[in-house]
Amino acid sequence: MSSSTAFLSFEGVVAGYGGGDVLKGVNFTVQEGGVTCIVGPNGSGKSTLLKTVSGLLHPRLGQIIFKGTQLVGKSPREILKLGVVQVPQQHSLFREMTVEENVSLGAFLVRDRGEVSRRLKSVREMFPIVATRAKDKAGSLSGGQQRLVEFARCLMLEPELVVLDEPSMGLDPKTLRAMFDTVKLMNEMGRTVLLVEQNARQALKLSHHGVVLENGQVRLTGTGKDVLDNPEIGALYLGGTIQAQSQAPEDAAIKEAE
C-alpha dist (Å) from residue 223 to 12, 93, 146, 199? 22, 33, 30, 17
For position 207 contacting Mg ion by CB under 5 A, the verdict is: no
Smallest gap from Cβ 112 to ligand ATP, in A, equals: 37
Of the candidate residues 13, 31, 45, 157, the single one contacting ligand ATP (CB under 6 A): 45
Pick the closer one to ligand ATP by CB: 42 or 247: 42
Stretch (H or E) spanning 148: helix 143-155
Give the contact letters, 88-127, x = binds to ligand ATP (CB under 6 A), - = no. -x--------------------------------------
Distance CA 97, CA 137 (A): 5
Of the candidate residues 2, 12, 17, 132, the single one contacting ligand ATP (CB under 6 A): 17
Smallest gap from Cβ 165 to ligand ATP, in A, equals: 7
Distance CA 252, CA 245 (A): 7
Distance CA 3, CA 8 (A): 12
For position 47 contacting Mg ion by CB under 5 A, the verdict is: yes
Pick the closer one to ligand ATP by CB: 46 or 201: 46
- Residue 42 interacts with, from Mg ion, ligand ATP, none (CB under 5-8 Å by kind): ligand ATP
For position 224 contacting ligand ATP by CB under 6 A, the verdict is: no
Q: Segment 22-41, which members bind ligand ATP (CB under 6 A)? A: 22, 40
Distance CA 240, CA 52 (A): 31
Longest Cα–Cα distance of the chain, Å, equals 53
Distance CA 87, CA 177 (A): 18
Question: Residue 143 in contact with residue 171, Cβ under 8 Å?
Answer: yes
Of the candidate residues 46, 153, 191, 209, the single one contacting ligand ATP (CB under 6 A): 46
Smallest gap from Cβ 163 to Mg ion, in A, equals: 12
Pick the closer one to Mg ion by CB: 37 or 107: 37
Stretch (H or E) spanning 153: helix 143-155
Beta bridge partners of 16: 21
DSSP state of 163: E
The residues of the shown chain that bind Mg ion, judged by CB under 5 A, are: 46-47
Applying CB under 6 A, the residues found at the interface with ligand ATP are: 17, 22, 40, 42-48, 89
